[in-house]
Amino acid sequence: MVIDWLLILLNLVFIVLFIRQIVIAIVALWTGYLSDVSFHKTNQRILAKLLDRLNLNSQSLVYELGCGEGSVAIKFVKKFNCQVFAIDKNLTLILVAKIRAWLAGTSHQITFKRADLFKIDVSRADLVYIYMLPEINKILAKKFSAEMKTKAILVSWKFPLLDKNFKEIDRVGHKNQFFVYQRV
């Protein structure tokens, strides 16, 4: 009898997880048409390696520009117990991110906002996390040089940020690399 209930429970869990993945895929495809940069889920294994190498704490303030469905912001909070300010211009992804943060128990430490990343002031950030295309990184490099405080960290997934005001201090991963810079 107990085994029957366990099998039923396992089947329900499988169905819920399967439906969750389908919903995420549909949202990703749909929202890709609404954004300047298409939505790509961050490689969680490489992200875990990156987080292990960062020196943040509960007093740190992380900005995630282009937060998508919120998984990176949630990981930062769970790892460092820090505050995260996460923005995306896509309202659908912001709503999904808020739900995911609430389910993960991290919503009190993450502020999700629908906004234009070029209009967000990052001067208070201890770390800025981005996943943008190279041509957008070139534009952002000027913004970050003007706004980020000295010794603040910038993490760019997949594409480097080439700017003399940032010193590369680490790379994590191989094909899907995180480029880690410090504002000089």
| Predicted confidence (pLDDT) per residue in 84-93, tens digit | 999 999 888 8
Q: Rg of the chain's alpha carbons, rounded to an integer?
A: 18
Please state, in angstroms and as integers, the Cα–Cα distance from residue 111 to each residue in 25, 69, 86, 124, following that order: 24, 13, 6, 14
Q: Which residue has the tokens 């480097």?
A: 160
Six token digits for residue 36: 């300047």
CB atoms within 10 A of CB 143: 17
Rounded (5°) CA angle 155-90-45? 40
Q: State residue 24's pLDDT score.
A: 67
Strands (E), 18-165: 61-65, 83-88, 110-114, 127-130, 153-157
Give pLDDT tens digits for 102-154. Answer: 999 999 999 999 999 999 999 999 999 999 989 999 999 999 999 999 999 99
Q: State residue 160's pLDDT score.
A: 92
Q: State residue 31's pLDDT score.
A: 55
CA dihedral 26, 27, 29, 35 (to 10 degrees): 170
pLDDT band, very low/low/confident/very high, at 98 (cuts 50, 70, 90): very high
Q: What are phi and psi for residue 152, nearest 5 degrees? A: -65, 150
